[in-house]
Amino acid sequence: MNEITQTQFVGDTTRLRPNVNILDRLQPAFYQREIERIFKRSWLPVASLSDVPEKNCFVVADVPPLNTSLIVARGPDLKVRAFYNICRHRGARLVKTSRGCRAAMTCGFHGWTFATDGRLIGLTDKTQFDDIDPNELGLIPVHTEVWEDYVFVNFEEKPTQTLEQWLGKFHGEYPGFFSNRPRIADYRIEVAANWNIAINSFSEGYHAAYVHRKTVPDYQGGQKNPLRHRAYLELTERHGRYSAQANPNRRRTPVEQIAYGRGRELYPAFPEYTPETLPLPIGVNNSRNQYWGFDVVELFPVLIILIGAHWHANLWFWPVSEDRTDVRVQFHAYKAQTIGDHLAHAYFRARLREVFREDVGTMEQVTGVLKSGAMANIVLSKQELLLQQHYAVADTMVGQNAAR
């Protein structure tokens, strides 16, 4: 097999279209429909289990399209729950810090106190309230389910699907893969970009040879794959994923060799895949490519997970308005045992961060230019099939054909 790499396509492509109207999506009215039909009806990942490592730990998770702040908390019974970040007394924001670990959360307004399982456990000057039942004034819960390291919520009154149904075949294909991976970097940026355009920046690899020519000039490509076709690309009912192929002849710089010399190889170095040296769950490097680089998984609507041999990155794209997106990024890597491992983390973090900053640059430019109205439709190649899928899923949920 010395031929040029051809992509192995898996999944139903019949409803996909290479022409997608993008201009409509920049209109406020369209965005309102996306909120009603997509964001109020989807399972949304809002936090990681590593945000709430022990009982009574909590993290605040903002959901901008729904003007909502949530508290994701691990209760005294170790169960992870999500609640609206609202004090039941007068509606003040209960938790104002970003995270914490303590058995009780006290409102700064009038001192009402809630447990991490949502119960109201402290009601100040109680005798002055007539006919009050503290049992009915616990924090307002949101439907919460956990998949691997991710905490998902659903704002439907009664979710039409379980999280397992929502994730489809991906649900069982990553067992344990994301656990025991400390977070080694996190960033948050508000970008002047439409959220669809923002997430599009990460769900294709066609751009890499051009946008990333200075930051990772030769990590993909090479003689057998000069056009950098994806090795594998799969679509499910709502979600999608692909595997990027590494360039086995990539040049390793002196500092990369020092940084990875006493740790594991991380992006943009890709250890060769063999089942013995690199045991992976079935969902990762699906085609079992020897020159596997990394996977990209899009969990519709807001999360991209980049997956490498010993690392992963979460990229969240939360719409704030039709032309602003709250981008949140977290890099995770294998647990450090020595200083050599920390050096490997540091090198990886710096290299991936610069690539990420280039991608964020494109989404703001594209949104700004499209606002001129000069063109309504974008055209998408087979290497951009995950974008076609994103828009097909979005349009099915919004209930209209946005392409004309």
Binding to other proteins by residue 256, rule CB under 8 A? yes
| CB of 78 or CB of 350, closer to other proteins | 350
> What span, in angstroms and rounded, lies between the C-alpha atoms of 4 and 204?
19
Please return the burial class of 22, using the count of CB atoms within 10 Å of its CB with bins 0-12, 13-18 and 19+.
buried
Residues 6+ apart with CB under 8 A from 293: 219, 220, 243, 244, 245, 246, 270, 308
β-strands 232-235, 8-10 pairing: parallel
Q: Which of residues 99-138 bind other proteins (CB under 8 A)?
A: none
Contact assessment for residue 174 and residue 281, using Cβ atoms and an 8 Å cutoff: yes
Q: Does 238 bind other proteins (CB under 8 A)?
A: no
Residue 93 three-state SS: strand
For the segment 355-394, give every residue that binds other proteins (CB under 8 A): 357-358, 360-362, 364
Q: How far is the CB of 342 from other proteins (least distance, A)?
A: 6
Q: Is 347 in the site for other proteins (CB under 8 A)?
A: yes
x/- track of binding to other proteins for residues 191-210 (CB under 8 A): x-------------------
Contact assessment for residue 92 and residue 105, using Cβ atoms and an 8 Å cutoff: no
Q: Tally the residues of the chain.
A: 404
Is residue 335 a contact point for other proteins (CB under 8 A)? no
Choices 100-108, 153-161, 223-231, 251-259 (CB under 8 A): range interacting with other proteins: 251-259
Name residues contacting other proteins, limited to 259-288 (CB under 8 A). 259, 261-262
CB atoms < 10 A from the CB of 186, how many? Answer: 11
**Which helix or strand (DSSP H or E) is residue 378 part of?**
strand 377-379
Contact call for residue 41 and other proteins (CB under 8 A): no
- In the complex with other proteins, the residue whose CB is nearer, 85 or 330, is 330
Q: How far is the CB of 306 from other proteins (least distance, A)?
A: 16
Q: Does residue number 338 form part of the binding site for other proteins (CB under 8 A)?
A: yes
Q: From the list 353, 377, 396, 403, which residue makes contact with other proteins (rule: CB under 8 A)?
A: 353
Q: Which structure tokens are listed for 369?
A: 């230019």
Q: Which is nearer to other proteins, 232 or 347 (CB)?
A: 347
Pairwise CA distance, residues 340 & 68, whole Å: 41
Task: Fill in the DSSP letter of residue 156.
Answer: S
**Order of strands across the sheet that contains 120-122:** 104-106, 113-115, 120-122
Does residue 234 belong to the site contacting other proteins (CB under 8 A)? no
Q: How far is the CB of 150 from other proteins (least distance, A)?
A: 17
Cβ 70 to other proteins shortest distance, Å: 17
Nearer of residues 292 and 347 to other proteins, judged by Cβ: 347
- Cis bond leading into 268, ω under 30°? yes
Query: Pairing relation of β-strands 183-191 and 292-299?
Result: unpaired
Q: Does residue 397 belong to the site contacting other proteins (CB under 8 A)? A: no
- Contact between 53 and other proteins by CB under 8 A: the answer reads no
Query: What distance in Å separates the CA atoms of residue 31 and residue 217, rounded to the nearest whole number?
Result: 37
* Binders of other proteins in range 79-98 (CB under 8 A): none
Q: Segment near other proteins (CB under 8 A), from 156-164, 305-313, 315-323, 336-344?
A: 336-344
Cβ 353 to other proteins shortest distance, Å: 8
Residues 180 and 341: their CA atoms lie apart, in Å, by 15
Q: Which is nearer to other proteins, 15 or 188 (CB)?
A: 188
- Label the pairing between strands 113-115 and 120-122: antiparallel
Query: Residues binding other proteins: what is the number (CB under 8 A)?
Result: 45
Phi then psi dihedrals of residue 173, to 5 deg: -100, 5
Helix (H, G, I), strand (E, B) or coil at 62: strand
Residues 313-332 contacting other proteins, CB under 8 A: 330-331
Least distance to other proteins, CB of residue 221, Å: 16
Closer to other proteins by CB, 159 or 268: give it: 268
Is cis: bond before 226, omega within 30 of 0?
no
Q: Which residues bind other proteins (CB under 8 A)?
A: 182-191, 211, 214-215, 217, 253-256, 258-259, 261-262, 330-331, 336-340, 342-343, 345-347, 349-351, 353-354, 357-358, 360-362, 364
